[in-house]
């Protein structure tokens, strides 16, 4: 398996091919899984059985997503609930997604001091002690999300991993949750900047060395679609940074809200939906849950195309 193109360029090509910027968030909320996977909720079942049910549900989602969307984003927390068995399920889902031609963004939000951050970069992007050809390892992700609270030396090892493995990164800048303003929107002394603005400037800097032929950096940023005005301003601060926009659908953001993150047609950002797609069947009793999920992906792709191409 030959060295892949830089993440930014693979992302650009995947969006072009799918003709939409949808990323399906693989968040297996146990309470919401379709009934045929109810064993995942069964406290009397073993962790292995429960994790296996989660895996089987997501493998079905991945099969539906293949060819429809450019990327999936497995949320590590819901797998880690089942410990080692859950992490095995995570790896199986990552491998199946890549096999199906989908980019995989590991939503792990790790952040730690330098030598520990290097270990996390190995865990998700390059393999233990740096695999010779990490892209050939089925369990490694194409990109990962990281937390900036510890500053540059917590990001540098991930940035190095991006270069070594042609992988990508999404640094949390302004998250989609209700209390994200508590620290991220604090105004800093001696400037008009918020903390999120300052993190955005740092992300722009960290990404300068890994700009691909597409003109985009492989170091991206997470900005909640639930803050449309800030999204536009942050896009201006990070002109080459691919954005990952959570908050669409279940969290309240609309297709119009995400426009500020895009620069050229369908490019510049990925828009995540998790619950709105995975559990679409709960609102469509007339359809099998697979058909409801498939329909929800198509609807979202169409909505975004409508908002971005007109």
Which residues form the interface with a copy of itself (CB under 8 A)?
27, 29-30, 41, 43, 47, 50, 75, 77-78, 80-88, 90-91, 109-117, 119-120, 122-124, 128-129, 131-132, 139, 147-154, 172, 175-184, 186-190, 195, 198-199, 202, 246
What is the smallest separation between the CB atom of 279 and a copy of itself, expressed in angstroms? Answer: 12
Q: Which is nearer to a copy of itself, 47 or 290 (by Cβ)?
A: 47
First to last CA, the chain: 39
Q: Which two tokens stand for residue 158?
A: 């991930």
Q: Which is nearer to a copy of itself, 22 or 118 (by Cβ)?
A: 118
- Could you tell me which of 306, 271, 258, 282 has the C-alpha nearest to residue 24? 271
Strand, coil or helix: 127: coil
Q: Which is nearer to a copy of itself, 113 or 136 (by Cβ)?
A: 113
Q: Which is nearer to a copy of itself, 1 or 309 (by Cβ)?
A: 1
Cβ-contact 168, 174 below 8 angstroms: no
Q: CA–CA separation, 213 vs 26, rounded Å?
A: 29
Catalytic pick among 68, 73, 98, 109? 109
Pairing of strands 103-110, 71-74: parallel
What is the smallest separation between the CB atom of 130 and a copy of itself, expressed in angstroms? Answer: 9
Residue with tokens 């740092």: 202
Cβ-contact 274, 250 below 8 angstroms: yes
109 assigned to active site: yes
What is the smallest separation between the CB atom of 177 and a copy of itself, expressed in angstroms? Answer: 4
What is the smallest separation between the CB atom of 115 and a copy of itself, expressed in angstroms? Answer: 7
What is the smallest separation between the CB atom of 80 and a copy of itself, expressed in angstroms? Answer: 4
Q: Which is nearer to a copy of itself, 12 or 50 (by Cβ)?
A: 50
What is the smallest separation between the CB atom of 143 and a copy of itself, expressed in angstroms? Answer: 17
Q: Which is nearer to a copy of itself, 246 or 261 (by Cβ)?
A: 246
Q: CA–CA separation, 243 vs 223, rounded Å?
A: 7
Cβ-contact 122, 172 below 8 angstroms: no
φ/ψ bin of 189: left (φ > 0), alpha (ψ from -120 to 50), beta (otherwise)? beta
Q: Which two tokens stand for residue 83?
A: 């410990």
**Is residue 246 exposed (0-12), middle (13-18) or buried (19+ Cβ within 10 Å)?**
buried
φ/ψ bin of 282: left (φ > 0), alpha (ψ from -120 to 50), beta (otherwise)? alpha
Q: CA–CA separation, 137 vs 167, rounded Å?
A: 13
Residues annotated as catalytic (active site), given as ranges = 109
């Amino acid at each position: 398996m030959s060295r892949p193109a830089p993440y930014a360029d693979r992302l650009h090509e995947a969006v072009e091919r799918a003709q939409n910027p949808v990323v399906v968030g693989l968040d297996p909320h146990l309470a919401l899984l379709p009934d045929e996977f109810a064993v995942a909720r069964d406290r009397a079942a073993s962790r292995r059985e429960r994790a296996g049910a989660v895996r089987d549900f997501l493998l079905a989602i991945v099969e539906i997503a293949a060819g429809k969307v450019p990327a999936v984003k497995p949320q590590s927390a819901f797998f880690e609930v089942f410990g080692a068995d859950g992490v095995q399920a995570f790896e199986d889902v990552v491998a199946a997604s890549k096999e199906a031609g989908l980019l995989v963004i590991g939503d792990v939000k790790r952040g730690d001091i330098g030598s520990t951050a290097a270990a996390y970069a190995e865990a998700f992007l390059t393999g233990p002690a740096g695999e010779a050809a990490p892209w050939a390892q089925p369990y490694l992700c194409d990109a990962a999300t990281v937390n900036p609270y510890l500053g540059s030396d917590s990001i540098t090892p991930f940035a190095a991993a991006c270069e070594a493995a042609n992988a990508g990164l999404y640094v949390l800048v302004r998250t989609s949750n209700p209390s994200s303003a508590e620290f991220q929107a604090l105004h800093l002394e001696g400037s008009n900047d918020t903390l999120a603005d300052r993190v955005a400037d740092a992300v722009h800097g960290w990404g300068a060395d890994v700009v691909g032929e597409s003109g985009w950096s492989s170091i991206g940023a997470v900005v909640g679609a639930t803050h449309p005005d800030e999204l536009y301003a942050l896009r201006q601060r990070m002109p080459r940074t691919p954005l990952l926009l959570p908050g669409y659908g279940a969290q309240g953001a609309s297709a119009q809200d995400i426009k500020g993150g895009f620069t050229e047609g369908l490019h510049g950002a990925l828009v995540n939906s998790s619950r709105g797609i995975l559990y679409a069947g709960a609102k469509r009793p007339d359809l099998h849950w697979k058909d409801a999920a498939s329909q929800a992906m198509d609807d979202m792709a169409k909505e975004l195309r409508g908002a971005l191409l007109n």
